[in-house]
Structure 1
């Protein structure tokens, strides 16, 4: 039995989560083409499907064509099996270690033939890919290839590896044992370890070769799989073998035969939608499951479709070389890729969940919690023209059961809980039968069951924004023209009846500065240089504030506010507001007074850490012949006293995602989890790396730290990592969670992925689920891990000095 990441009970579906509302599913097939990064592990294709018959190619040889043109076509053929395509025919004196394929062509592909020379075809397929292909793959014999149980073969001295079964092209083999899971008669397909693994999208791929059964002096089944520690192979050797043997379309059983039973199984990322349902909504569909395998020298994620076919495989390896920092997709990890991690790879810890609920999108964020209900936002992580799904879920806080769900389609949906926690207002609500092109409604719903209490129509073809202020729901409708009239309407929250209405010239959607669920006492309206606070009950001005040098930035610059309180935190009655040309001000919303300010540079960013501290990042340009880019700019970070504006300390590099704990500042320092002295900025500890600190080319994402007893949790990359607070000792990753950090979701990444209240830990994810852990049980698990001595010690100034002294001992005189 495969071990699941979450307990399986009668209340849970087969992957350990509460069942999703069935109307979220749809017959949508996957068509997205992911941006491929360097470090590809396997080539796409399908060796195990049926292949069409080949057409006989006419005899003859091709005359040389003039430069830049193909020779004359001498025939056509169809591939009976997935076939390697070589850029050039190997030389007579080539070694098997030098052999590689430029790519693989899928079974059933039609070829134009330019030449037939012995074991080779010179050909081009319909996509324009051209080169040399072993002729056997276009023969009827190739269709007889069968997947078999994985076997370990020890070639006899002098054994030869052949280009294809029975081919004349052959190479004497002098390497180690081989592995095969594909057979044709007495021939085994093998992918010998050449000392090279694929490192890029266009890098050469392993050439599948063939060994005759009689040339193997021994043969034994690969019991338990290649990835078991006692298999006798290193991760590098296994990668090379799998590069050739484990291909897209392989069956679940073939994967099990090769790799053995996985450590755990979780939901894979969802499949991209390409067509709407009958009501016009696009829904992402199941991407299958991820199987996780772990060894000390590498982890492997294998992705299987719901039909039990291989769709992807990602090696997770230690970051040790500079060029490995760029082997990553800006959009999403490619289906077949190697991913490099800066921190040591440790065995996973498997926490016990109170419950886990699956939703209809990859990303799940906690928005709000009442006494008995959790409000979770489901999002697909896309933006601009690539955003398809926004969903809202009401979950039972104790069981995780989905009580209700709203689907806003590709439009944005905002929600505003009322102060009592009994109801909430949803802007952009689409009733059943509505089109996703509709403007939607403002809907006031009962929190517990999602039933409608009242609705208010939003105008078609207009920009609107809705916020809750006091006991009113405020709706802004932007002016259609820059000098036209916009409208501000306040509705009574309990009934939805209008309270007051104002028409304002030049009103823009971002002029309304109130946040979602922030409990603001006044309507905050920023136009030009003026900030006005309006009483939500009657629309009268309560106070005003003015910019000294520029206009008020209501979000049009996409500058994220420096404060991202926990989704479960109570509002503190203040707001950071950006004044262009001046910087940020922290405003007391009760009276409009400025409590703090910071004249931030346009290229900088800062965090309000609480406790009267700001963490400020600034770019420092380096002279480089007049050029300025990511290689010629460097970052520095300051800690600022809010009350006085005094600079407490400055240090080079980026310090972000800060959390204050007494006199300690936990933060991600130059992409490495660390602890600093709050008063001096000096290092207390930093997580140990694999020997290479990542630079600014390394794709990186992190959430916020959470203190759990004597430990820290941190969403870091795709993992949820656990550290000892005092020493920085990394204990491992918590299994069953995958994180992502899509663009324009910074606030959600900081405030909604990891929260704690009443002895429970609430965890969002990028793995289509929301989960709750029991805090005492998690602490007990981490205590046990720490007591066992597992993990990797953090680096302290003292340990670094000792290590450097060992490398460079003082000379004795």
Structure 2
């Protein structure tokens, strides 16, 4: 009898524990529509679903890469996509409570059948709250599911579970995958479910998740934002979830469709572990978001998941800069995504706009004038997806514009227009005959002249060159040139017209075409490496001080010659070598990139296959050599600033000794991070780096911060216009182009004063 009594007591205890662990519903004894009854009905119906049957999602549902049984680790799941309500699919096979579907672009996916039931449509997202669970609580794949895991195995055990959803008497708990990104693939968090009978306590998360004071881990914040913050959310919803941003700015381009792009407001949230930028439409609705993370030794950019995923992730190898709130003199918002300064007079700026399509192509482009004092747009010429070239000289009050396409007629049409800068009035116009798709007409300039020419192509053996009076547009003279040739003029102020054909370089008088001087080479001139599309070689063209030197480096035969343009005499020379290209820092110094012989014939163009040389043409020798690709050089006194493999560097001019180098945590080439050139202030340098305009201390290279409201970026195959037109300085004026269509004028004096205040 004593033994039987002990057995009865043990059995009662065991039953009590089992009942405590089992999910129950407050409505178990209610009607057949109770949550418990619906769960049982779902389980029964799932067994009758046949292959080929059409199912429709009633609730946003995770698409798993593999079926789940509950025997795997709770964080081993891989979800790259979420299905949306109303999405239909044909069942391919069944495994337990999950069905598989085959998607053309996404492959084989598994989804819990519960998300196709009407009951699942009652899931409600909630504000995140901490919850405490009973010991031995199980987390279910769906409410009432037999696929379950121990709640104690969720996460790293250091943070309490966070509920982000409710379904009747069940809590939805955010669950993070073990590896939230693998290379360039994002693995997304999911919701697992626990019955309210297993919840012993819940605690409101009072602070915004991205507030500096937030105690919620950045991993949990990332998961919660993924699950709760969707495209179309209001700015108020974002503020309730994340808190107030550290800074609000004009947004970048959140669509890539020329004039249709949306330009609203961006909110930047900052925590030491990472930053988040939310981009809102002009109507205040979330369009997309960007996470910025420290990269370690593997920087990556633009990681995202499926089409339904509104965020991208960027892993930065450099420091994550603070935002510096700086007042600007004025800001002009253009129509297209990219804006570059290409010319200037005392009163007017000439800006070229581009939509930034890949490989140098575009669907839309334009050129327009901005009042230098007020920032007001004065005039604009649209060029559509045709070619657009501009040319103006020193202290000019007009600009010559060539377009090959008419957006109004939606047809190719060559037009050369000479435009008055003050109001955009066409002073004269020429419409060369034969305008057609694929024709490459070029324009250039020399003293008082406009040069219009085409080179042999598409089966033609002869090119034509015509010289017009710059003031009236009347033709002065023309010639036909047999075989290929190049026009080497830069800007509009060269004394003569420079024509290079084969082994001959001629300087012709602008009024009559008379040959003034010639240079004969021993060999035919090869391909100019400065024309390599991914490299901005030669001199940088300053829009405020166009090329006005009468001496220029010219590739002729197998030599680079520093030629006096007035006389044709040679001032210096440098042997042209295969695999070399260089920037002209001034008449004396060349910054040369040299492909190493061991890899000269390889397709590999990584930083490890290059070295860079500073060459002193006056002394006829190299001063120093460094590994990697050096570019964007600018000299100041005994030092020079450059970009080495895309990393900002200050070096001693004569020895190449590195004074400082921006700290990065990876060794790969970052050249695409630095599209523009340096601007030198008194104690700081400015440089476009990634999406930011950085202010860097001259003395020690510390990052003072990123300038607010200026959005930089790289557009493929716009190397030369980016180098010359993205960032410029003259007197007290700084002009910043952008990757969100804006041109901004800043005051040097006010900017420097503000930077010094912040660095105290």
Residue 503 in structure 1 maps to residue 476 in structure 2: no
CA RMSD in angstroms comes to: 3.2
- Equivalent position to 2:752, from 769, 776, 779: 779
When residues 179 and 535 of structure 1 are mapped into structure 2, their CA distance, relative to the original with a 3 A threshold, is farther
2:607–2:645 Cα contact (<8 Å) kept: no
The residue that corresponds to 1:123 in the other structure is 101
When residues 519 and 285 of structure 1 are mapped into structure 2, their CA distance, relative to the original with a 3 A threshold, is same
Deviation (angstroms), 1:426: 1.0
Show the 5 A alignment for 1:221-240: 221-240=204-223
Q: For residues 496 and 356 of structure 2, what CA distance do their matches in structure 1 show?
A: 32
Deviation (angstroms), 1:443: 0.9
The residue that corresponds to 2:173 in the other structure is 190
1:326–1:699 Cα contact (<8 Å) kept: no
Q: For residues 234 and 167 of structure 2, what CA distance do their matches in structure 1 show?
A: 17
Residue 524 in structure 1 maps to residue 498 in structure 2: yes
- Equivalent position to 1:714, from 687, 697, 700: 687
Q: Residues 32-55 of structure 1: CA distance to partner in whole angstroms, max 9, x if unpaired?
A: xxxxxxxxxxxxxxxxxxxxxxx9
Q: Secondary structure of 1:230's partner?
A: coil
Residue 208 in structure 1 maps to residue 184 in structure 2: no
- Equivalent position to 1:457, from 413, 427, 431: 431
When residues 128 and 441 of structure 1 are mapped into structure 2, their CA distance, relative to the original with a 3 A threshold, is closer
1:84–1:105 Cα contact (<8 Å) kept: yes
Q: Residues 593-650 of structure 1: CA distance to partner in whole angstroms, max 9, x if unpaired?
A: 23333224332222222262112221224489x9773579532222211123211122
Deviation (angstroms), 1:294: 1.2
When residues 495 and 623 of structure 1 are mapped into structure 2, their CA distance, relative to the original with a 3 A threshold, is closer
Q: For residues 82 and 581 of structure 1, what CA distance do their matches in structure 2 show?
A: 67
Q: Residues 503-522 of structure 1: CA distance to partner in whole angstroms, max 9, x if unpaired?
A: 222356xx22223x352221
Q: Secondary structure of 1:490's partner?
A: strand
The residue that corresponds to 2:248 in the other structure is 264
- Equivalent position to 2:63, from 85, 90, 94: 85
Deviation (angstroms), 1:194: 5.1
When residues 310 and 500 of structure 1 are mapped into structure 2, their CA distance, relative to the original with a 3 A threshold, is same
The residue that corresponds to 1:795 in the other structure is none
- Range 88-97 or range 371-380, more displaced: 88-97
Q: Residues 333-373 of structure 1: CA distance to partner in whole angstroms, max 9, x if unpaired?
A: x9633212222223211111111111112111111111111
Q: Secondary structure of 2:585's partner?
A: strand
When residues 623 and 616 of structure 1 are mapped into structure 2, their CA distance, relative to the original with a 3 A threshold, is closer
Q: For residues 332 and 680 of structure 2, what CA distance do their matches in structure 1 show?
A: 24
* TM-score, scaled to structure 2: 0.85
When residues 193 and 232 of structure 1 are mapped into structure 2, their CA distance, relative to the original with a 3 A threshold, is farther
- Equivalent position to 2:732, from 744, 747, 759: 759
When residues 762 and 81 of structure 1 are mapped into structure 2, their CA distance, relative to the original with a 3 A threshold, is same
Deviation (angstroms), 1:238: 2.4
- Range 123-132 or range 160-169, more displaced: 123-132
Residue 545 in structure 1 maps to residue 519 in structure 2: yes
The residue that corresponds to 1:393 in the other structure is 368
Q: Secondary structure of 1:740's partner?
A: coil
The residue that corresponds to 1:704 in the other structure is 677
- Range 179-188 or range 221-230, more displaced: 179-188
- Equivalent position to 1:404, from 351, 373, 379: 379
- Range 76-85 or range 420-429, more displaced: 420-429
Q: For residues 581 and 191 of structure 1, what CA distance do their matches in structure 2 show?
A: 68
When residues 326 and 660 of structure 1 are mapped into structure 2, their CA distance, relative to the original with a 3 A threshold, is same
Q: Which has the larger radius of gyration?
A: 2
The residue that corresponds to 2:463 in the other structure is 486
Deviation (angstroms), 1:257: 2.6
Q: Secondary structure of 1:73's partner?
A: coil
Deviation (angstroms), 1:197: 2.2
2:130–2:162 Cα contact (<8 Å) kept: yes
Q: Residues 422-473 of structure 1: CA distance to partner in whole angstroms, max 9, x if unpaired?
A: 22111117678332x3223111111011111221102212431112221122
The residue that corresponds to 1:806 in the other structure is none
The residue that corresponds to 1:469 in the other structure is 446
Q: For residues 432 and 132 of structure 2, what CA distance do their matches in structure 1 show?
A: 73
User: How many aligned positions are there?
Assistant: 705
Q: Residues 257-282 of structure 1: CA distance to partner in whole angstroms, max 9, x if unpaired?
A: 32222222322225233xxxxxxxx6
- Equivalent position to 2:558, from 582, 586, 602: 582
Q: For residues 379 and 491 of structure 1, what CA distance do their matches in structure 2 show?
A: 28
Q: For residues 630 and 384 of structure 1, what CA distance do their matches in structure 2 show?
A: 17
Show the 5 A alignment for 1:329-478: 336-382=311-357, 386-428=361-403, 433-435=408-410, 437-459=411-433, 460-461=435-436, 462-478=439-455
The residue that corresponds to 2:19 in the other structure is none
Q: For residues 117 and 512 of structure 1, what CA distance do their matches in structure 2 show?
A: 71
When residues 85 and 632 of structure 1 are mapped into structure 2, their CA distance, relative to the original with a 3 A threshold, is same
Q: Secondary structure of 1:141's partner?
A: helix
Q: Secondary structure of 1:97's partner?
A: coil
2:76–2:178 Cα contact (<8 Å) kept: no
Deviation (angstroms), 1:397: 0.8
Q: Secondary structure of 1:487's partner?
A: strand
1:270–1:286 Cα contact (<8 Å) kept: yes
2:446–2:493 Cα contact (<8 Å) kept: yes
When residues 423 and 672 of structure 1 are mapped into structure 2, their CA distance, relative to the original with a 3 A threshold, is closer
When residues 392 and 481 of structure 1 are mapped into structure 2, their CA distance, relative to the original with a 3 A threshold, is closer
Q: Secondary structure of 1:728's partner?
A: coil
Structure 2 unaligned regions, length at least 5: 1-41
Q: Secondary structure of 1:136's partner?
A: helix
Q: Secondary structure of 2:289's partner?
A: strand
Q: For residues 367 and 292 of structure 1, what CA distance do their matches in structure 2 show?
A: 31
The residue that corresponds to 1:597 in the other structure is 573
Q: For residues 515 and 459 of structure 2, what CA distance do their matches in structure 1 show?
A: 24
Deviation (angstroms), 1:188: 4.1
Q: For residues 46 and 198 of structure 2, what CA distance do their matches in structure 1 show?
A: 34
When residues 673 and 561 of structure 1 are mapped into structure 2, their CA distance, relative to the original with a 3 A threshold, is closer
- Range 296-305 or range 92-101, more displaced: 92-101
* TM-score, scaled to structure 1: 0.80
Q: Secondary structure of 2:91's partner?
A: strand
When residues 169 and 215 of structure 1 are mapped into structure 2, their CA distance, relative to the original with a 3 A threshold, is same
- Range 678-687 or range 692-701, more displaced: 692-701
Q: For residues 593 and 270 of structure 1, what CA distance do their matches in structure 2 show?
A: 53
- Range 640-649 or range 699-708, more displaced: 699-708
The residue that corresponds to 2:32 in the other structure is none
Q: For residues 102 and 319 of structure 1, what CA distance do their matches in structure 2 show?
A: 21
Structure 1 unaligned regions, length at least 5: 1-54, 63-71, 274-281, 788-813
Q: Residues 572-609 of structure 1: CA distance to partner in whole angstroms, max 9, x if unpaired?
A: 32465553761433322222223333224332222222
